[in-house]
Chain A
Amino acid sequence: MHTPIHSQPGDIDPGPWLLRLEHVSKRFGGVQALDDIAFNVRPGEVLCLAGENGCGKSTLIKTVSGVHAPEPGAVMQWDGQDMLGIDPARARELGIQVIWQDLALFPEMSVAENIAFERNLGRRPRLVKTAAMRAQAAEILDSLGVNIDLDARVASLSIANRQLVAIARALIANARLVFMDEPTASLSRHETEALIDIVRRLSAQGIAVVFVSHRLAEVLDICSRVTVLRDGCYVGTYSTEGMTQSRLTELMTGRQFDYRTRPAPTGDGEPRLSVRGLTRQGEYRDIDLDIRPGEIVGLTGRLGAGRTELALSLFGMRRPERGQILLDGRPLRMTSNRDAIRAGIAYVSEDRLSLGLVQQQAIADNIAITVLGRLLNRAGLLSPRRQTGLVADWIRRLKVKVGSPQDPVSSLSGGNQQRIVLAKWLATEPRLLILDSPTVGVDVGARAGIFEIVAELAAQGMAILLISDETPEVYFNADRVLHMRDGRLVESFIPAHTELERIEEAVHA
């Protein structure tokens, strides 16, 4: 058994902390993002900050880097000196660098300028030293072992290259503590290994690294200690010595998961969706895919493997160049997603914030948007009464916790927002439901609820395509798992007959 090596960070040897936080809390409006957090980092150590999405990791990083100020009563020390009230500029002076999860790059600027933007900072006017910036950027990219055109606009780079630029930017400064928030999310194995080498090198130079990653194997491999947060609260700090992935998952989620895979599919019945030889240049090639009614097919692979592009083609928003899409045996010709919706296809976007919902607008309007045609009265005008009825019905059926249906969607938690997304699509009575990373930004308890709904929909005979880069998610929730790499479907697994590790190995290799 693992008991925390120091559930109260003060308990263990009071080594010379580089960073010492206690009683750090942060509220946004009515949401308690951080609640009495303790967090300590020693010079030169590699520490993992672990927790599910929305547990407060990013808020904690922003608080340490001066973007947010903590609520009164917090203790924040740097090298034993009080560091409360710092701003981002001061945090950088202290030597705190962050590789942000959203990268926080400047898309219109060149790679070199993004990496060496450090040199442009400061409140005094100063000349820009282009040559020096380029040289410095080239040097750091070299040490990372990557080759990116220094003059390319960042907007034109692939996601993986953007991530490397963000990493390079954080490493260029004289850092003493580097936060890495999901730095490997879209990197290849080779690039990840180069990064891990760098982390070890930094550590050897006495630079501390706080590593945030949902790839637990990676975490256990490079970190000496792990601090776990859950729902904005401090859970504990543990040595990684002898720690297992499942134990860490349990600490992060706060419950014992008796995950069971779905039973092996029986494999009879005509397919609801058939895809044959679907190809779109530079995105995906020769895709063959069948989904039967009542079947949940998982699709996994690394970021940028072409999963979302394929989904958008099935949803009529990206025209394939070759191949066929058949729904219930009938070929579909779609010029827009309206054709797809009419045919009975629904698509839950991976990007709930900017594509899935109109965040600023009312919950009621976000549910009604897909079925406006059904809300017309005899005069052809929208009937508020019908809309109210429809909305109340779906809020009840999906058990969404809302104050008023007139509140903006943005006032809801991630899990409830995702239920609104499901509601708006289920209202169209789809025959094929495509779920693209449906649990991004949804906390653990709410995830289970969403998958309960999905399983029920499958039981009612809906065909479901579940896309996710969280391998366990597809493993435990799909009947079959397809692995996509570089635009091709390369492997197929039946979770009931396969070990999870085997699939993870295949995906991250």
Chain B
Amino acid sequence: MSPSVISRLMNPAGSKSPAAGELAGMGIVLGVLVVSFSLLSDRFLTGATFDSIAFQLPELGLLALAMLIPLLSGGLNLAITFSANFSALVMAWVVGWLGGPEAGMSGILLGMLAALLSGALIGWALGAIVAYTGAHPILASLAMMIFLRGLGEFLTRGGSVSGFPDALVGLGQGTWLGIPVPLLVFAACAALWALILNRTRLGFSIYMLGSNTEATRYSGISTRRALTLVYVLSGVMCAVAGIIMTSRFNSVRVGHGEAYLLITVLACFLGRVDPFGGFGRVAPVVMALIILQVISSGLNLLGTNQHLATALWGGILIAVMVVRYLWGRLRDRRRRRR
């Protein structure tokens, strides 16, 4: 009894079930933002704003998905941005080797496959270290991040790699039925993540071991294998993010997207992912990403720079956590009175 009270106090993120309430709350925040921005600027509610959001959201969004699963498992993957860069580099090399700008569709596909494989490999190495040495994921992924950044910088001499076929660039900049392709890719990946987390044994195990690895192991789940796969999945999603980033900018540079790293963690926390692991869903995280992107695009329209948006992101996370805490206390007090 008292442990549960304490855990509830410590862990206001709550359970998986009241998803509707979560989403509704975040919907209200989003609505308020949209209304206030459209009052502040008559250019806000236009196709241009939608386009800018639709093209920017996927990069951060895919990386946030890559961060989400390790967070659910009670860990963290600080190597995501450089895993994305490195996988993109692998793709660049394979495509370059198969003809560069003249590479055909098969070359592009092979390049993507190579990127996904390298992402998986990086994730596997990191996952194995976390699962088998018992090193803290923060330390392990930090070391992996430093290593990947160094390896990438070493191999590219700090420069960027460019020269991709038009078809690949179309992936990052094109539209399909009027919807930007990156957004479609992001939507597909988010759906895949939701499917894995909700409907597979692996997803089930991730939630359980995120709350209590030992109890999960005692229940006959191979927690080491599951933990390794957590980082493999994360690495694969990094590779997808790397491919999208490459196709959007038509070049790869190690360090691209570096600033997204802690923003992805922020987005996950805002999306009610429990920092201790075990709880969190894809939909609220996507919602949080949209909120962050609307703030960023709206402030951009108002003529301020990205930095104010960054500050506001941090401020909003603090505000949301404080409100959640106060709300929880209010509810407890009311329950006690009854």
Contact = CB atoms under 8 A, between A and B. Distances in A.
Interface of A: 27-31, 33, 59, 317, 336-338, 341, 347, 349, 353-362, 365, 368-370, 372-373, 376, 380-382, 406-408, 410-411, 424, 428
Contacts of B201: 372-373, 376, 382
B216 A410 contact: no
A368 B233 CA distance: 24
Given A382-B200, A406-B17, A358 B1 contact: no
Contact of A369 (B11, B17, B199, B208): B208
Nearest to B216: A358
Contacts of B207: 361, 365
Contacts of B198: 382
A364 to B, nearest CB: 10
Interface string B218-235: 111110000000000000
A33 B220 contact: no
Contacts of A349: 218
A27 B203 CA distance: 37
Contacts of A336: 222
B215 A355 contact: yes
B225 to A, nearest CB: 10
A370 B4 contact: no
5 tightest Cβ-Cβ pairs between the two chains A and B: A410-B4, A381-B199, A31-B1, A341-B220, A369-B219
A370 B198 CA distance: 17
Contacts of A369: 204, 208, 216, 219-221
A370 B15 contact: no
Contacts of B221: 369
Interface residues of B, number: 37
B335 to A, nearest CB: 7
A359 B5 CA distance: 12
A3 B222 CA distance: 57
25 contacts: A28-B2, A29-B4, A59-B2, A317-B218, A337-B217, A337-B218, A337-B220, A353-B3, A355-B214, A358-B215, A358-B216, A359-B211, A360-B7, A360-B11, A360-B212, A360-B279, A361-B278, A362-B17, A365-B207, A369-B204, A370-B219, A372-B201, A382-B200, A382-B204, A406-B17
A33 B218 CA distance: 30
Judged by DSSP, the binding face of B is helix
B336 to A, nearest CB: 7
Contact of A360 (B5, B219, B222, B278): B278
Interface in B269-316: 278-279
B204 A359 contact: no
Contact of B335 (A29, A354, A368, A407): A29
Given A29-B4, A355-B218, A424-B219, A362 B16 contact: yes
A354 B15 CA distance: 19
Interface in B168-223: 195, 198-201, 203-205, 207-208, 211-212, 214-222
Nearest to B15: A408
B208 A358 contact: yes
A359 B216 contact: no
A361 B1 contact: no
A424 B207 CA distance: 17
A373 B221 CA distance: 11
Contacts of B204: 365, 368-369, 372, 382
A28 B199 contact: no
B7 A410 contact: yes
Contacts of A354: 212, 214-215
